[in-house]
Structure 1
Amino acid sequence: MVRRLRWLGLVVAISGTGAWADYSDHPELKLSELTSQLEAFGYTESELVDIFRAAEKKQSIIDAISRPAEKVLAWHEYQNIFLTERRIKEGLEFMRAHQETLARAERELGVPAEVMAAIIGVETYYGRIAGSYRVIDALSTLAFDYPKRSTFFRKQLVEYLQLAKEQKINPLEPKGSYAGAMGFGQFMPSSYRAYAIDFDGDDFVDIWNNEADAIGSVGHYLKRHGWKTGQPITLPLKKEQFLASEWLTDDLKLSYTIAELPAAAAALVSSSLPSDSLIEPIEMETEVGPQQWLVFNNFYAITRYNHSRMYAMAVTELSEALAAGLREQ
């Protein structure tokens, strides 16, 4: 009888998974704990109940985050998404429209205008495609129904609710990516609160609708994550300069100094950077075979925005295309 009751309990537990009425009733939502975290921002428990009662689980969000493009595509397939004539053309239009803001951001923050534009171009097609999921749905779904990264997304959910009070917005309204990233530059809530800046002097930080704040915020993010003005991002190697496989790793961190590289590789950059500068050889698959690059500190800074070599390379190549397009005009 005990065994049968245990079996029936297991059946109920399995069949009941996901059977709560709404997120306010979700077993993973610790309402009293959340209220204590947010009461200083003006939230009451009843207000939080109303918010989570309105939040919706989206299976498409879980499906999307389980198969990000950076994990399922080869480099040349990923590259073809972002290095298109249209994205370059619209990028040049964006840069012309915001020339003064980009120039000021470059002067004050030290990040090239084309790099800031390229990140916004990769993230949201220059603000045109900023996401179709309600942020509250994305963060609730991932906080409570995606155990693999629930700790991270529960933190982001708290940050988002704090941000909503600071911005005086209804937390049920803003839309973003399937991961809950927001605005022109697709900042996660914690990044919004830590790195977004008021760049037009109106005493309000708005990266949803204000291109100046979005541009300044992207530049500020990179600066705070170690961007070094005037230094390179990548250097492509010719076939005869390729390094042996033991030099290649999947680690995003820079593993070597220039002085530690084989002499032929070190000679390519030793005249322009100090010998103790950090560097990493990487290899990715193109349509015609493997390609190697030496990547530098600024490449690593871009990976702080999105922890992917392919992402950083797409930003780099788009920025180079934008810079070349400006020179031709």
Structure 2
Amino acid sequence: MTAVRFPGFIRLVPVLFGVLASFAHAGGYEATPEGRQLIEEMVAKYGFDQVRVESLLADATRIDKILESISRPAEKTLTWGEYRQIFLKPDRIKRGLAFLEEYEEVFARAESRFGVPATIIAAIIGVETWYGNYTGNYRVMDALATLAFDYPPRSRFFRSELVQYLLMTREQGFDPLAVKGSYAGAMGYGQFISSSYRNFAIDFDDDGIADILTNPVDAIGSVANYFSKHHWREGEPVAERLESDLPEGSPLLTRELKPRLTVSDYRDAGLEPRQEVEGGAAARAILLQGAKGPELWLTYHNFYVITRYNHSHLYALAVKQLADELDKHRNPDQW
């Protein structure tokens, strides 16, 4: 999904859905107190035409399926073994190789400029949208309005994204009612949410528009720029599977996505990485349930950078493994 999906999704239960139903409004969103506040903000703070914003909110439709979808993201409900099967399919690898070949010059330019491997960029786009084939069927205006006004657990976040969306579409000259995306309002090849679009999308083909919705060249450059701005370290490892074991509950299995320990901490505990990594390098071990049993992985700084795109270690590992598969086919002698 987006750039960057969202941490802290709450898994709703039927009772909560009943509560959410009470937030349904009569008439359009422009008539609700929250809608009026947003209209006033867009006019006073950002210089929008009041009638235009009222019209956009009046046109926005609450979609109950969005509220259901956001309650059960795959990253929260599947094991690693189940999750991996979604993204490490032969067809996705084959399509990724074709995508890399088709835009070989663009990937090379992005890798040279930003220091992010072409296979990582391609894997992100492959995981997010199957290389641009599935970018979402919801109107972004409907998705963001539904979540901003009818989803209390994350209303503040999505209200902010709705503001960012209106600003982004004005800046890029897009029709706010025409852009489509995911149930969470993520857009384009790389599924950027509105704030990520404004902060990280770039014009990579010099046509004056940062279009990641339909332009794969801009999308490739924008994903690379996103990783660069989140401090990707060129040439450093992402993660590796260890043959050793750690019991569940071990203090070496930290909960935070950001690494709090070092490679030396794990070496002192008898876990030896195969890759050449300095002892002071930040690291985090994760224990996952794979298709054939538990898997212990040691992750590094660049793995954490991938989780800035989507706050899930399942997602980051899927991206890493898809990138590896693409690289194995392109550079078999190096594996």
Residues 142-221 of structure 1 mapped to structure 2, 5 A cutoff: 142-221=147-226
CA RMSD of aligned residues (A): 2.0
Gaps of 5+ in 1: 1-12
Letter in 2 for 1:176: G
Are 1:103 and 2:101 an aligned pair? Answer: no
Residues 38 and 281 of structure 1: is their aligned pair in 2 closer, same or farther, counting only changes over 3 Å? farther
Distance (whole Å) between structure 2 residues aligned to residue 313 and residue 29 of structure 1: 39
Distance (whole Å) between structure 1 residues aligned to residue 310 and residue 28 of structure 2: 32
Partner of 2:319: 315
290-299 or 202-211, which deviates more: 202-211
Partner of 2:11: none
Preserved contact between residue 243 and residue 281 of structure 1 (Cα < 8 Å): no
Partner of 1:295: 299
TM-score if structure 1 supplies the norm length? 0.90
Partner of 1:3: none
Distance (whole Å) between structure 2 residues aligned to residue 301 and residue 83 of structure 1: 21
Residues 169 and 311 of structure 1: is their aligned pair in 2 closer, same or farther, counting only changes over 3 Å? same
Preserved contact between residue 56 and residue 137 of structure 1 (Cα < 8 Å): yes
State the shift of 1:15 in Å.
9.3
DSSP 3-state at the match of 2:191: coil
State the shift of 1:167 in Å.
1.0
Preserved contact between residue 164 and residue 194 of structure 2 (Cα < 8 Å): yes
Preserved contact between residue 20 and residue 150 of structure 2 (Cα < 8 Å): no
Preserved contact between residue 266 and residue 272 of structure 2 (Cα < 8 Å): no
State the shift of 1:274 in Å.
2.5
Distance (whole Å) between structure 1 residues aligned to residue 114 and residue 196 of structure 2: 17
Q: Deviations over 1:152-211 (max 9, x none)?
A: 100000000001110112101100000000010000000000011111122221101111
Partner of 1:45: 50
Partner of 2:259: 254
Partner of 1:123: 128
Residues 232-251 of structure 1 mapped to structure 2, 5 A cutoff: 232-238=237-243, 241-245=244-248, 246=250, 247-251=252-256
Partner of 1:20: 26
Determine what percentage of the aligned residue pairs are the same residue: 44
State the shift of 1:272 in Å.
2.4
Letter in 1 for 2:320: T
Distance (whole Å) between structure 2 residues aligned to residue 14 and residue 298 of structure 1: 38
Distance (whole Å) between structure 1 residues aligned to residue 328 and residue 288 of structure 2: 23
Distance (whole Å) between structure 1 residues aligned to residue 271 and residue 200 of structure 2: 35
Q: Deviations over 1:95-147 (max 9, x none)?
A: 00011110111111000000000000000000000000000000000000001
Structure scoring higher RCO (CA < 8 A, sep ≥ 6) equals: 2
Distance (whole Å) between structure 2 residues aligned to residue 14 and residue 280 of structure 1: 38
Q: Deviations over 1:9-67 (max 9, x none)?
A: xxxx9997424112112232234x54333556542111111101100000000100110
Which of 75, 83, 92 pairs up with 1:78?
Answer: 83
Distance (whole Å) between structure 2 residues aligned to residue 37 and residue 205 of structure 1: 23
Q: Deviations over 1:290-320 (max 9, x none)?
A: 0001000000000000000100011011000
Residues 253-272 of structure 1 mapped to structure 2, 5 A cutoff: 253-263=258-268, 265=270, 267-268=272-273, 272=276
Are 1:140 and 2:140 an aligned pair? Answer: no
Whichever structure has more helix as a proportion of its residues is: 1
Paired residue total: 313
Residues 315 and 228 of structure 1: is their aligned pair in 2 closer, same or farther, counting only changes over 3 Å? same
Distance (whole Å) between structure 1 residues aligned to residue 183 and residue 109 of structure 2: 32
DSSP 3-state at the match of 2:329: helix
Letter in 2 for 1:159: Q
